[in-house]
Every structure is written in structure tokens, then in C-alpha cells.
Structure 1
Amino acid sequence: MIIGNGLIASLFKDYKKNDCVFFASGVSNSLETDEKQFLREENLILETINMFPDLIFVYFSTCSIYDSTKKESAYVLHKLKMEQLIKNNSRRWLILRVSNAVGNGGNPHLLMNYLVRSVKNSETINVHTKATRNLIDTADIKAICLNLIENHTENHILNIAYLSNYSIIEIVEIMEQYFDKKIELNLIKSGSGYDIEISEIENYFFKNHLDNKEKYLKKILDNYYSDKLCNNIN
């Protein structure tokens, strides 16, 4: 059972077992402040738990809760509230806090979509020199999630993120190599980042030889942005 139709929800459309609900229909805009949108997600969560009380309720939350610059934002406070709501109302649950997911489609304003679109259009990119982001391929989000379910991981909160963060400058330098194109930058001395603890899942990356940061990002570019700088970013 899948609730939602966005980037994360699409990962599980071919999941055939009837043992869990993948809830990926929540508020996804980290700048959201509309209380109606928050209430819509809250009501849908409770309705879904009541409809499927015996299934594992898999909820996709956010690693943004670790960002000191966003900890008082309406979005982060809402996500924490939803996590507690699930823990209080579901017998079987799995809460996955996801970092910056990169996949086929998604919001055009997501970091990688913005950067590649800027390269495609030969636009100057504003780079916050102190900013870091944790990029993770949606294919790995799916694989890790299914591994957890297969291993009967329940009533647990886990972070789903890559082994380490990328600075924005690091991302741009790798993109310059990948697209063989000089990118014009406007350097801004600002930005921030935060560490994400992933000790319970980090072996996945080592086991699958995904521990080289540069190769990992180039794999993401291969998967979603190769050749014609596909329509993924328009």
C-alpha cells in the first residue's frame, strides 16, 4: 500500500507484498507555513493507521530536524509532531528520516535539479561557501528501506543518508568534470551544514562499494542527468 504519488512514493510502486503502508504523502516543502497543509497530513496519517492497523506504517520524515537553522521552523516542528503521532497511534511503525533525495523527477527547486538546470542554461550559480548537503540516490533509499523491512525492523527511527556531506563547491567541481563545462560561480560567504548519524545503515554503502564520494555523485549524475541533461530538471 502506497500513500502518495511523489518522488519517494514512486519508488515502491512495484512492491507486491501486503505487509506495510508506505506513507509518502506528507508536506514536502520545507518552507511551508500553511496550517491547512499540516492538518491535511495529520488527518491522513490517522485515517491510514485506522484503516490498516496490522500493517507496518512506514513514514518518511526529514533529516532537516538536525539543522540548527531550521529547528524552530513550522515544517520541522510539524514533522516531529507527526513522528510522535505515529508512535502514539500505530502498533507497528518505521520512521525514516531522509536527507537530500535525488531521483527521477521531484521538485524542480531541489538542489541538484537547480544546479543541473543552471548548467544547462549556462547561468551563474550562487554558491554559499559554508553550506553542505547530504545527497542520497533514491535507489539507495528504496534498497535500504526494503532491507530494513526484510529484517523485521519495526518501532524504530532511523536516518537514511549518505556516508558524508558534500560542500556545494565540491558538488559544482564534480559537475564541471562530469559535463566538461566551466561553471560561472557567485561565491557567497555564508551557509551551514549538519552531521547525520547513520551507524545502523552505513554498512550498506561499504558492502555495495558506494563509499567513494566523487564516484557516488557521478553515479547519481549518470542515473538522472546524463546525455541531454534530461527533462528531469525542466
Structure 2
Amino acid sequence: MIIGNGMLANALRKHDSDDVLFFASGVSNSQETVRAEFEREISLLRSALDHHKDKKLVYFSTCSIYDSSKSASPYVQHKINIEHLISEISDDFTIFRIGNAVGKGGNPNTLINFLKNAIETGKKISLHKNAGRILVDADDIAEFVYSFLNHFNNQRIDFAYPYQFTPLEIIQRMEIFMAKKANYETVEKGALYDMEFDIIVKDYFKDISPSDYLDKIFRNYL
């Protein structure tokens, strides 16, 4: 069963299962500050768990938990609270902390959608020179969950392509695929993620280089 209708929910459709509750209807805007939006997700999650006690819960959190420049944001604090809530009230769950997901459609505030719109409109943007960004194809999330969910019980798993792209690296490659120059400046801000991926995640991506993975994403979605 899938709760949600956004980019990630749509990627999961072909792997839907009567035994699993995929909760893909959380707050998707990492810049969100409205308390009611966070409370809506908590209420929906509680209701889903109450009505589907027989199913394994799969919840999607965020790798931004490891980003020191974002760790105090309302969005990240909300995700941490949700993780704690799940561990307290669910007897059978897996939490996937995912990177910046890229797929068809989705929230315009996601990283790649935001950058794509900025290039198309000529909007000037600031790129954090010292930042790292971890990306993941929404289809890879769905495929990994389908293939390896039975390996994880009541655990938190970090899932993204295990490489930190710089914003400049991303935007310059997007310029090539979109055949249009971006209007940007670089600023001395940002931080790298302090995290280490599980060997099963590293093995999943072992046959594709960072540059090839970036090209694959842009070829599919730009």
C-alpha cells in the first residue's frame, strides 16, 4: 500500500505490496516552516499506522540530518522527531534516509527542479562553494527498496548515490544538457556531509562513476 501521489510515490507504484505500507506523503519542501504542515504529516502517519498494524512501515526521511548547515532547520528537526515517533509506536519498520531525489514531476523546490527552473528563467542564484549535495534517482530508491527491504528490520538506512557533488559541478553539467547558461554566483558557504554508507548501498552503485550517474539522471529527467 502506498500513501502519497508525488514523485517518490509514483516511482514505487510498480513495486506496491499488500504487506508493506509505503509512507510517501510527508513534507517535501525542505524550506518549510509552517507548523501546520508538519503536524499534518504526523497526524496522517499516526492514522496510517492505526489502520494498518499488520503491515511493515517504510518511511522516507532525509540525509540532510547529517548536513551541519541544515541540522537546526524546522524540516530536519521534524524528520528527526518523526523517526523517533516511528521507533516508539511501530513494531515493524524501516526508515530510509534519502538524498536529494530526482525524478519526474515532484515538488518544484527539490534541488534539481529548482536549478532547472532557474536556468530556464535566467533567475540569478547563489551556489554554496563548500557544500556537498548527494543525489539519487527516484527509480533507484524504488528498486533498492524492492530488492533489499527484507534485509532491514527496525533500522535506519542511508540511501543515495555515495558521492558528494558540489553545486557548481551539478549546475555546469546541467548547462550542457539544457544547452543554456545559468546565472549564478558562488559564495563561501556550505559544508560536506559527515556520513558513511552501508556496504550494501555502495555495492548497489559500484558499477557507475559519479560523472556517469549525474549524466544518467540528467538524461532521464532533463
Per the TM superposition, whether the score is higher than 0.5 is yes
After superposition, the CA RMSD in angstroms is 1.8
Q: Paired residue for 2:95?
A: 95
Q: Paired residue for 1:228?
A: none
CA contact (8 A) 1:174 1:214 kept: no
Tell me which structure has the larger Cα radius of gyration: 1
Q: Paired residue for 1:174?
A: 173
Task: Please list every run of 5 or more consecutive structure 1 residues that lacks an aligned counterpart in the other structure.
Answer: 226-234
Equivalent-residue separation in structure 2 for 1:16 and 1:5 (angstroms): 13
Q: Paired residue for 2:215?
A: 218
Greater helix proportion = 2
After superposition, the C-alpha distances for 1:169-217 in whole angstroms (9 at most, x for unaligned) are: 11123223434444443222222231332124110011xx22x111111
Q: Paired residue for 1:203?
A: 203
Task: Please list every run of 5 or more consecutive structure 2 residues that lacks an aligned counterpart in the other structure.
Answer: none
1:173-192 map, 5 Å? 173-192=172-191
Change beyond 3 A, Cα 1:29–1:176: closer
CA contact (8 A) 1:56 1:154 kept: no
Q: Paired residue for 1:105?
A: 105
Which one-letter code corresponds to 1:163 in the other structure? P
Equivalent-residue separation in structure 2 for 1:182 and 1:74 (angstroms): 33
Which one-letter code corresponds to 2:213 in the other structure? Y
Q: CA deviation at 1:14?
A: 2.7
CA contact (8 A) 2:42 2:82 kept: yes
Q: Paired residue for 1:232?
A: none
Change beyond 3 A, Cα 1:43–1:181: closer
State which drifts further: 104-113 or 54-63.
104-113
Tell me the number of residue pairs that the alignment of Structure 1 and Structure 2 aligns. Answer: 221
State the identity as a percent.
40
Q: Paired residue for 1:12?
A: 12
Equivalent-residue separation in structure 1 for 2:128 and 2:114 (angstroms): 14
Equivalent-residue separation in structure 2 for 1:203 and 1:62 (angstroms): 21
CA contact (8 A) 1:165 1:195 kept: no
